[in-house]
Amino acid sequence: MMASDSGSTVMIEKEFPKSEKRKTNFDVIIIGGGPAGYTSGIYCSRARHETLILTGVLPGGQLVNTTEVENYPGFEHGVMGPDLMITMRKQTERMGAKIIDDEVIDVDFRHKPFKILTASEEYECKAVIIATGASPRKLGIAGEQTYGGKGVSYCATCDGPFFRNQEIVVVGGGDSAIEEATFLTKFGKKVHVIHRKDQLRASKVMQERAFSNPKIEMHWNTVVSDISGDGKVQSVILSDVKSNVKTSLSVGAVFVAIGHEPNTKVFKDRVELDEQGYIKLKDHTKTSIQGVFAAGDVHDHRYRQAITAAGFGCMAAIDVDRYLTESK
């Protein structure tokens, strides 16, 4: 810095504080920052294990994209999804876990300590919990992102009760779509199933349930090409895939049920995955690699609920504690 004193100019050197070396070695590293990851962090930290959570680029998982959550215990009047995840994060930090919002780009489970590489650092640990979750497949159409959480949903169990006595669209033709459509008839006055083909992929039992339900109407050879509204979903444009004829349908909600993609790309050829890409568990929460565990939607393609993910996070942390204790 330049300073003037009695007409003369002198140089004053500014001393910068030495940067503190970041800790890179932990007992447990949890990959993922949703309900499973944060719950794992709470339990691991309470068990006095040095714990690091690498949340990725979207801390909070799928819940940060939801609005009101009515079915998570402990909130009498419901809670906003992002608020729930902020509360979980604060509780996890209070227990002593270190949380870094960085994305894991590679892992090495061949030798111990395990190595976890992010975009900015390499970490080592004795045990790993994978809690990266799964992402719903999107339609990729106009209005889908705009009305996410405002009528566009990917979970009937989560959001169905918000649309009582309204007409509802379900997109898809597999078991999940038909199961969601059947469930939604408990709330909606009519459920429109939109399928791009002329027959369902769902099992015969599921088809029979749908065809016999007077509240369900099938739209064959049809896709949703646009979602519109005013602050919330009010209508969709349906396009016939053969004639390209477009029609408008007034609805209050669009449930997309065309499958999920587990967030396991970085773990391919690192741990055993099933044919859909979900992590295969051997014994409770153990993966094919000793010392590596999994929790939540990254292995669970049946329930896909925040509360079950949190439960799996608890289970994985307890299994990690036993593993580390027995390894001493």
**Between 6 and 196, whose confidence is greater?**
196
pLDDT at residue 59 tops 80: no
Quick one: pLDDT band at residue 328, thresholds 50, 70, 90? Answer: confident
Q: How many CB atoms lie within 10 A of CB 74?
A: 7
pLDDT at residue 87 tops 60: yes
Structural fold of domain 152-256: FAD/NAD(P)-binding domain (3.50.50)
Per-residue pLDDT at 199: 95
44 is catalytic: no
Per-residue pLDDT at 62: 78
Q: Is the dihedral of CA 223, 226, 227, 229 positive or negative?
A: negative
Catalytic residue among 83, 155, 175, 226: 155
Per-residue pLDDT at 64: 73
- Domains of the chain by residue range: 25-135+260-327, 152-256
Quick one: pLDDT band at residue 7, thresholds 50, 70, 90? Answer: very low
Q: Which residues make Cβ contacts (< 8 Å) with residue 318, sequence separation at least 6? A: 43
125 is catalytic: no
pLDDT at residue 90 tops 80: yes
C-alpha–C-alpha distance, residues 23 and 8, integer Å: 46
Buried b (16+ CB within 10 A) or exposed e, 282-309: eeebbbebebbbbbbbbbbbeebbbebb
Catalytic residue among 159, 300, 319, 321: 159
Q: What is the mean pLDDT of the chain?
A: 92
pLDDT at residue 267 tops 70: yes
Q: Are 62 and 84 a contacting pair, CB within 8 Å?
A: no
pTM, whole model, 2 decimals?
0.81
C-alpha–C-alpha distance, residues 198 and 222, integer Å: 9
Quick one: pLDDT band at residue 14, thresholds 50, 70, 90? Answer: very low
Strands (E), 55-202: 68-69, 79-80, 98-100, 104-108, 114-118, 122-130, 134-136, 152-153, 167-171, 190-194
158 is catalytic: yes
pLDDT at residue 200 tops 60: yes
**Between 3 and 169, whose confidence is greater?**
169
Nearest residue to 92 via CA among 22, 36, 131, 20: 36
| Total residue length of the chain | 328
Per-residue pLDDT at 15: 45
Instruction: Give the homologous superfamily in CATH for domain 25-135+260-327.
Output: FAD/NAD(P)-binding domain (3.50.50.60)
Per-residue pLDDT at 6: 43
In degrees and rounded to multiples of 5, residue 265 shows phi and psi of: -55, -40
Quick one: pLDDT band at residue 126, thresholds 50, 70, 90? Answer: very high
pLDDT over 70, % of the chain = 93
Catalytic residue among 27, 44, 125, 158: 158
Two tokens at 73? 């215990």
Between strands 122-130 and 79-80, the pairing is unpaired
Domains 25-135+260-327 and 152-256 are alike in CATH topology: yes
Q: What angle do CA 274, 289, 314 make, to 5 degrees?
A: 85
Instruction: Please write the tens of the pLDDT for every residue from 26-52.
Output: 999 999 999 999 999 999 999 999 999
